[in-house]
Amino acid sequence: MKKIMFVCHGNICRSPMAEFVMKKLVAERGLEREFLIESSATHTDEIWLGRGNPIYPPAREQLIIHSVDFDENKRAVLLEKEDYKKYDLFVCMDGENIRSMKRIFGFDPDGKCVKLMDFTKRGGDVSDPWYTRDFALAFSDIYEGCNALLEELLNNNKEF
């Protein structure tokens, strides 16, 4: 089983969109039993008194528009140092997320921390809708990245 954790700053926009897009892509191929897919945050901005905020409404709207099922009860959770042992791959949205993950883990000896868009031909970062307010562009980046990641995992039988 491949265990993938999608990661962004607050776990209310990009990483939950990626989590549910990837779950859909995996389900479309009948591979649900071969993957564990989750998402988390590198900061506590969206977690108050131990309870995370739900998926941000404009991000939820993009999932609905694109017929991507999601868990209505999904709440932001914080990435923890212990997660490094539990997951095979940590897929983040931008360079800041990489730095934050390495701060949390204190290391990345197995090269598990990667950027989603690095699996695409263009590379770079997933557009951050928190600042751009363009949730459609972020969804497009995420969809492209998740497709490319899944193809990489399946076509190259890549183990992480």
Q: What is the pLDDT of residues 106-160, one digit of tens each?
A: 989 999 999 999 999 999 999 999 999 999 999 999 999 999 999 999 997 655 4
Residue 156's pLDDT is what? Answer: 78
Question: Parallel, antiparallel, or unpaired for β 47-48 and 51-52?
Answer: antiparallel
- Note if 51 is an active site residue: no
Whether 14 is catalytic: yes
Backbone angles phi, psi at 150, to 5 degrees: -60, -40
According to the model, what pLDDT value does residue 157 have? Answer: 65
Residue labelled with tokens 């998740």: 146
**Predicted pLDDT at 160:** 46
Closest by Cα among 63, 71, 52 to 146: 63
**pTM of the model as a whole:** 0.96
**Structure confidence at residue 159 (pLDDT):** 53
Candidate list 83, 94, 128, 141, residue with the active-site label = 128
- Length of the chain measured in residues: 160
38-81 pLDDT, tens digit per residue, is: 999 999 999 999 999 999 999 999 999 999 999 999 999 999 99
Taking each helix axis from N to C terminus, what angle separates 135-155 and 14-28, rounded to the nearest 10 degrees? 40
* Contact status, residue 23 vs residue 58, Cβ threshold 8 Å: no
* Residue boundaries of the structural domains of the chain: 2-155
Query: Which of the listed CATH numbers 3.40.50.2300, 3.40.50.300, 2.30.33.40, 2.40.240.10 matches domain 2-155?
Result: 3.40.50.2300
Q: Among residues 14, 60, 113, 141, which one is catalytic?
A: 14
Catalytic residue among 8, 13, 113, 146: 8
133 among known catalytic residues: no
pLDDT (tens digit per residue) in 78-94: 999 999 999 999 999 99
Inter-residue contact 17 to 59 (CB < 8 Å): yes
